[in-house]
Amino acid sequence: MELKFILLLIINLIMLLSSTVTADQYVRPLPRKNLNIPWPWDSKSQPYPQQVHISLAGDRHMRITWITDDKHSPSFVEYGTLPGRYDSISEGEFTSYNYMLYSSGKIHHTVIGPLEYNTMYFYRCGGQGPEFKLKTPPSKFPITFAVAGDLGQTGWTKSTLDHIDQCKYDVYLLPGDLSYADCMQHLWDSFGRLVEPLASARPWMVTEGNHEEENIPLLTDEFVSYNSRWKMPFEESGSTSNLYYSFEVAGVHVIMLGSYADYDKYSEQYRWLKEDLSKVDRKRTPWLVVLFHVPWYNSNKAHQGAGDDMMTVMEPLLYAASVDLVLAGHVHAYERSKRVYNGRLDPCGAVHITIGDGGNREGLAHRYINPQPKWSEFREASFGHGELKIVNSTHAFWSWHRNDNDESIKADGIWITSLISSGCVDKNKHELRSMLMTP
């Protein structure tokens, strides 16, 4: 017990030192403290499911994930469309991991379906504990996404989650940096309990940020906690890594890229991206949205230029593929670009949005490069969240909501028209075909 405590202390000290070095470059006032999320039960070893969250797992299927202390607890989910009446059951799989002296609970992943669209389901995990309720996304437009990266688990996180809970969203998109556990594994558990009320009710689709890496050379595997706890539909989308994958929902093809997986032209990720793009059918999914953690268009002084290498490799391909919208995190502030490509305004380029302002303990990034670049249309260092309402195949409304002393205030809003409606998809299709055919 003593030894464990000292080891944890040392790890924490190393993490603290490394984070202050980067944090020194910009002033981040008024962060809020980590919340203390208590165990829901007095005794630690209850068989009841906890940290329940759900994610899309292929057309009309949903993956239910939960954790039990009891290693004998089964991995099935009972579900149905009426409360307390479960006419279907699915059997799943389970995993667990060790990290230094920490041993995780039993992590269950069970895929349920086929499910009806836009329908409320009631479900129970492992045959015991409370009933949960989820709503499946619609089959066609309109669909609403909630977006916020760099969440953490502070008082600001709680504020952001409350606001997201108030908006009627179908799917949550998280462009990296979830728990800010930073090697303190029990913080993954408290994060799981903090987000459960939302994440057990609507699919949460996430990609990794630097805080998921948690790599202690020679001692731990990279991303072991993240990959074990937040399994995403990578197998369902032909990817070999949980660090990048794609999914389709209601006329939108969403690609989740990995800023922390190899992305050069000869990498597995790049190869997979080309294969995934070759499957996109803009008649079926008129909108193409991409997420990753480190922004390519960022006029904040924080993490300036950090996304340049990935951008050099991948931006031409995403441009040829007529990506409508790119969502990123990492910088703890909000910024929205005009349509841009290769640093210049371009009507066929993507709108880039940095939204790393979910509320983590490191606070905000306040210092901007001046004058504001031509491509940058709106920037502000406040905590908040975004809402993307895709109305039909041509129109979407994007809005950003600031946490104004815990009140949600709409501070930015704009109509975005799709690249299929402006002729860009047609204009670039030969270029795309030749890029996809280049080995």
Ligand X SMILES: *[C@@H]1O[C@H](CO)[C@@H](O)[C@H](O)[C@H]1NC(C)=O
Q: How far is the CB of 351 from ligand X (least distance, A)?
A: 17
Q: Which tokens go with 53?
A: 């969250």
**Which residues, in sequence order, are bridge partners of residue 351?**
325
Closer to ligand X by CB, 67 or 416: give it. Answer: 416
Could you tell me how many residues of this chain bind ligand X (CB under 6 A)?
A: 4
Closer to ligand X by CB, 355 or 396: give it. Answer: 396
Mark the segment that binds ligand X (CB under 6 A) among 247-255, 307-315, 323-331, 391-399: 391-399
Annotated catalytic residue 303:
yes
Q: Respond yes or no on whether the N-terminal peptide bond of residue 142 is cis (omega within 30° of 0).
A: yes
Q: Work out which of 88, 392, 399, 428 binds ligand X, going by CB under 6 A.
A: 392
CA distance 63 to 113: 9
Q: How many CB atoms lie within 10 A of CB 296?
A: 23
Closer to ligand X by CB, 101 or 391: give it. Answer: 391
Residue 128 makes contact with ligand X by CB under 6 A? no
Q: How far is the CB of 420 from ligand X (least distance, A)?
A: 12
Q: Which tokens go with 292?
A: 């990753």
Mark the segment that binds ligand X (CB under 6 A) among 32-40, 113-121, 392-400, 431-439: 392-400
Residue 394 makes contact with ligand X by CB under 6 A? yes
Closer to ligand X by CB, 122 or 397: give it. Answer: 397
Query: Of the candidates 347, 343, 363, 362, which has an alpha carbon nearest to the alpha carbon of residue 299?
Result: 343
- Sheet containing 384-390: give its strands across: 204-206, 171-174, 143-147, 384-390, 395-404, 407-417
Residue 267 makes contact with ligand X by CB under 6 A? no
Q: How far is the CB of 139 from ligand X (least distance, A)?
A: 17
Query: Of the candidates 115, 175, 157, 214, which has an alpha carbon nearest to the alpha carbon of residue 355?
Result: 175
Q: Within 340-369, which residues bind ligand X (CB under 6 A)? A: none
Residue 422 makes contact with ligand X by CB under 6 A? no
Closer to ligand X by CB, 19 or 394: give it. Answer: 394
Q: Annotate 258-320 with three-state secondary structure.
A: CCCCCCCCCCHHHHHHHHHHHHCCCCCCCEEEEECCCCCCCCECCCCCCCHHHHHHHHHHHHH
Mark the segment that binds ligand X (CB under 6 A) among 244-252, 273-281, 390-398, 399-407: 390-398
236: Cβ–Cβ under 8 A, 6 or more apart, which residues?
57, 58, 61, 245, 247
Q: How far is the CB of 414 from ligand X (least distance, A)?
A: 13
CA distance 251 to 141: 7
In this structure, the strands spanning 76-80 and 88-91 are antiparallel
155: Cβ–Cβ under 8 A, 6 or more apart, which residues?
32, 33, 35, 359
CA distance 165 to 146: 9
Q: How far is the CB of 138 from ligand X (least distance, A)?
A: 16
Q: How far is the CB of 145 from ligand X (least distance, A)?
A: 17
Closer to ligand X by CB, 141 or 172: give it. Answer: 141
* Residue where the block lists tokens 């829901």: 40
Among residues 108, 253, 293, 303, the one annotated as catalytic is: 303
Residue 395 makes contact with ligand X by CB under 6 A? yes
End-to-end CA distance of the chain: 54
Q: Which tokens go with 323?
A: 């990506």
Closer to ligand X by CB, 19 or 392: give it. Answer: 392
Q: How far is the CB of 385 from ligand X (least distance, A)?
A: 22
Closer to ligand X by CB, 98 or 417: give it. Answer: 417
Q: Work out which of 10, 14, 391, 409 binds ligand X, going by CB under 6 A.
A: 391
Mark the segment that binds ligand X (CB under 6 A) among 19-27, 210-218, 287-295, 388-396: 388-396
Helix (H, G, I), strand (E, B) or coil at 416: strand
Q: How far is the CB of 53 from ligand X (least distance, A)?
A: 32
Tell me the DSSP string of 360-372: -TT-----B-SSP
Supply the residues annotated as catalytic: 303
Residues that bind ligand X (CB under 6 A): 391-392, 394-395
